[in-house]
Structure 1
Amino acid sequence: MDFKLVTEKLVAAFRKLDVRYAVIGGFALGLWGYGRGTLDLDVLTNRDDLDKVDNIMQQLGYELKYRSENVSQYVSPLKIFGEVDFLHAFRSASLEMLARADEKEVFGGSLTIRVLRPEDLIGLKLQAMKNDPARSAVDAADIEALVASQGNSLSWPIIEEYCRILAMGDWYDKIRGRAGK
């Protein structure tokens, strides 16, 4: 997958159609200082914008392979365009994540994109661990890396709230401990 090409095309279309979005997943982790391999692009988008997203993805030649209340998965028949997964924001916590998203320059400053803040990425990682405990090792490593790279700048009340919502208070203590707090 050519991340630069895909990101440029998506962001241009998102801006043109006012799609509310933020990059998440492995690509977002890299933008916060933790580079890890990823094979697809993951995006959080407002569920109210799904019709716009569908049109954009179809125009770019992607096929909708899967959709549920929470996610949409698009795959291109062209390897260069790869796979793009969308997480649908419609609950208050995910809508707040979108509202807090930061803008970051990518690809040597040639493009500015919206990306979730580290504490919100941690919230998504905690939710992934809760939903699929088999993923816990990878997600815990991602959380640890985000805490190591962003520790002093993290908003701990936001992380604490995610742990409360998900009934994962023990994880809040672990995360704080890793940050030396």
Structure 2
Amino acid sequence: MKRVIKYITVLVLVTGFMSCQKNSRPNYQYMPNMYEPVGYEAYQESDAFNNGIEAQIPAEGTIPRGDFMPYEFEDTNAGYDEAKATLTSPLDSIQIDYARGKELYDVYCGICHGAKGNGQGKLVQREKILGVPSYDDAGRAITTGSIYHVIYYGKNTMGSYANQLNEEERWQVTAYVEKLKAELEK
């Protein structure tokens, strides 16, 4: 008798589950936004404003939050020459940290320029890139401004490091490059 009750119970449960399922009827979605999220892009057109995309663009003349300061020299030869002649470091001798500058230099610059600034980095030694000059080349009169400008915008085959290094880090690297240049000239 117990066996018959077990079979009947299983049969009722299976029949109950099968009768609730209808493949012709769609299932209900609770919280459909969780299943089908709406993605928004920063510069997509928007119906919320009359001008469409204009709502997502920052107001003219604004500066982003954080430690960002606009760089007033242009990415031109004239801007390079002006930076070379007039740009000086805002860091005083107490704020310059050569150990930190060396760490940043080794990460971002040393692979091409070499640990000593002699233009013999790993990529040059393996002939992956050619023509990286030494900091003490006779024809190169590099200054604080020219170093910073090149880090900010890049020059020739060297790309910009403005996105990888913040302003203070760029000045630390600049100070370290000047130290390497002085050591090479000895």
Name the TM-score class by shorter chain: under 0.3
Greater radius of gyration (CA): 2
- Larger helix proportion, structure 1 or 2? 1
What's the TM-score once normalised by structure 1's chain length? 0.25
Relative to the length of structure 2, the TM-score reads: 0.24
Higher-strand-fraction structure:
1
